[in-house]
Amino acid sequence: MFNLVSRIGLYYDSIDAGNIEKALEVFAPNAIYMRGNRRLDGNLDAFYKNERNIAHSNHKIEKIAVSHNVVSTIGGFEGTTKNGLPIKTRFKDVFIFANDLVVYRLTEFYGEDI
């Protein structure tokens, strides 16, 4: 069994480095991603490569909690959009794992909804 905290760290580090393929390795192919009012069922690759309006990101994880197969994070985010505009917000993420892969993710933003 993978260390779940390390898996989530790999996700954030990979996203911030612009390595989408590596970031998506932590997700099951049919993972559900709830992002605000939006539900994505599988095919997260298309979202991250085509729809996500973030060119550069920097996540700062302030709190992390683990309970069984669930990892929750709270932190801050700064980055730029694909149009070069600065963005800054706070967020919380909940990741649910099965067989060492994320099968469900919930993201909520506090401030600017990205």
Can you give the pLDDT at residue 37? 87
Can you give the pLDDT at residue 79? 95
Task: Measure CA 72 to chain center.
Answer: 11
Q: Rounded mean pLDDT of the chain?
A: 93
- pLDDT confidence band for 5 (50 / 70 / 90): very high
For residue 45, what is the enclosing H or E element? helix 44-46
- Domains defined along the chain, listed by start: 4-111 (3.10.450.50)
DSSP 76: E
Cα atoms in the Cβ-side hemisphere of radius 13 Å centred on 37: 1
Query: Could you tell me whether strands 101-111 and 27-35 are parallel, antiparallel, or unpaired per DSSP bridges?
Result: parallel
Is residue 78 within 8 A of residue 58, CB to CB? The reply is yes
Cα angle 94, 68, 100 (rounded to 5 degrees) comes to 75
Can you give the pLDDT at residue 58? 97
Q: Dump pLDDT digits (tens) for 16-50.
A: 999 999 999 999 999 999 998 899 999 899 999 99
Can you give the pLDDT at residue 61? 97
